[in-house]
Structure 1
Amino acid sequence: MGKLMLNTLSRPKLREVVAGRLKTYIVDENLKPGDRLPTEADLAKRFGVSRLSLREATKSLEFLGILEARPGRGLVVGQVDMDRVTEYLGFHPALQELSPRVLIDTRVVLEAGVLPHVARRMAGDPSLFETLEGINEQLRRAKDLQEGVELDRRFHQQLIAASGLTPFLAFGDLLAVFFRRYGKYLDIAAAVRGHKVIIDSLRSGDVAEADREVRRHVEFYLTLLEASS
């Protein structure tokens, strides 16, 4: 009965179901990056699908880095490519339809939430401060708004990355959505000043001040949007 139901699914839906079963298999078997999966034929038999359907599912997981096809070894568990996940999510319709309030609140929760981790790591690794300072200096010298928006996005992406909380990088794609929609409102000089407060506060261990500035920095956009509505 289960196989019959699978065979009646449309190809895109079947691919999603099989991909879901593959992910469940990886979790249930406690597989780690580099661990081998059964052969394509064995997996197709296990899931009751054709090898073509299985291959379509594995390709979608390879795209995200969940699986890798290695010559002579077959399918192995991969390292998730967070950049690829981010790139994919950035164009998902659900993100494009988020309201300004949701986007802004999500940014505040995300960026304020990583600050204690950034401060802790920065205390032991001064290069984190130097990287953020360098991006902010590039922003100060930006030649036009387009370059400024890209550098502002890069600063906030790097702020999240500096926390060392790699899974959060996927959510950083909200920044791409945010700046595509609201970048035209960027005040470069104000952004540079705000960034300076954030990174100087983090370097001195004053997470509370960095938190206050992040909230002021991001919620500034909501004030503009409300004024223009």
Structure 2
Amino acid sequence: MSKPTPVSVDFAVPADARLYRVVAGQIQQMIQDEKILPGTRLPSERDLSARLDVSRASVREALIALELTGVIEVRGGSGIYVNDRNSAPADINGAGCGPFEVLSARRLIEGEVAAMAAKLATDSAVDAIMQTVADMERHGEDQVKSDAADRAFHMAIAKATGNSALVLVLTNLWDERGHLWSKMEEHFHTAELRQQTLVDHRRIVEAIAARDAAGARRAMRAHLERVMREFSRGWGVKGASRAAGNESDWQV
């Protein structure tokens, strides 16, 4: 089967535009050029990826951006539909980096930060990391406080290295968790997955406390890779149904 010919569009974007914004513009241009009416279901992520010749992660980030601006509507278990707000170019300025970009950068950097913390952390620094795990466990039912404890955990590990430049880098990465990230979590993050995050955090801090640099690196990378898998799974598909294989083509 031959590869679909990539779509050619006249959507003008800045040379330094983030990829998901370029892809969002291409999808919106496609909707307009092909006169796809409101209420019509769009092609699957797989089909859009092949048609636009970009990764499915970029397509997913673009669709999230278009959902935020009202251009499309995601209906869990059904599909992605054109909304009635598609007459003007989507305004997705200020949405930040794409979630997959952020996670990829964090996996690269935070794995090494965790390894360094295992080598250099003082006892008091390890205690501070453990306290954030306890805070996250205590606030498990409060998403705002739990998210704050999640960030505090990762920042405490960076601080445990004693390197202020790494703290600054991690702060900037976490500050990129903007509207796109929040919408992605709304679709894919559940109470069960937050509980798994707590399990991941315990493994990381145990490795740091044991001064196991390689183990801390592995645990941090495994944690962030799991989050990437969560954000990559089918739209609206919960763990049980997904495990049973109940995914339609457009969802994956």
Q: TM-score per shorter chain, which class?
A: 0.5 to 0.7
1:179 shift after superposition: 7.0
**Cα shift at 1:156:** 0.6
Shift of 1:115: 2.4
Pairs within 5 Å for 1:128-147:
128-142=125-139, 143-147=141-145
**CA distance in 2: counterparts of 1:97 and 1:154, whole angstroms:** 21
Scaled by the length of structure 1, what TM-score is found? Answer: 0.53
Deviations 1:60-105 (A, max 9, x none): xxxxxxxxxxxxxxxxxxxxxxxxxxxxxxxxx67x4422332111
| Residue in structure 1 matched with residue 58 of structure 2 by the alignment | none
Alpha carbons of structure 1 residues 196 and 175: separation in structure 2 relative to 1, 3 Å: same
Q: How does 1:171-210 map to 2 (within 5 A)?
A: 171-172=169-170, 173-178=172-177, 181-182=181-182, 183-184=185-186, 185=189, 187-210=193-216
Cα deviation, residue 178, structure 1: 2.8
Q: Percent identity?
A: 18
Aligned to 2:231: 225
Q: Distance in 2 between matches of 1:138 and 1:115?
A: 19
Larger radius of gyration: 1
Q: Is 1:164 matched with 2:162?
A: yes
The 1-side partners of 2:137 and 2:104 are apart by 26
Unaligned runs of 5+ in 2: 1-92, 235-251
Bigger share in helix: 1
Report SS of the residue matched to 2:158: helix
Structure 1 pair 112–179 and aligned structure 2 pair: CA distance change class (3 A): farther
Task: Decide whether the 8 Å contact of 1:139 with 1:188 is kept in 2.
Answer: no
Distance 2:178 2:133 in 1: 16
* Higher normalized contact order (CA 8 Å, seq sep 6+, divided by chain length): 2
Query: Which residue in the other structure is 1:120 paired with?
Result: 119
What letter is aligned with 1:139?
M
Q: What secondary structure is seen at the aligned counterpart in 2 of 1:178?
A: coil
Specify the alignment match of 1:110 in structure 2.
109
Q: Give unmatched runs, 5+ long, in structure 1.
A: 1-92
RMSD: 2.1
What code does the residue aligned with 2:127 have?
A: E
- State how far apart, in whole Å, the 2-side matches of 1:179 and 1:163 are: 26
Determine if contact 2:208/2:216 at 8 Å carries over to the other structure.
yes
Deviation per CA, 1:135-178: give whole Å up to 9, x if none. Answer: 10010010311211111011111111111111122222212323
Q: Distance in 1 between matches of 2:199 and 2:174?
A: 19
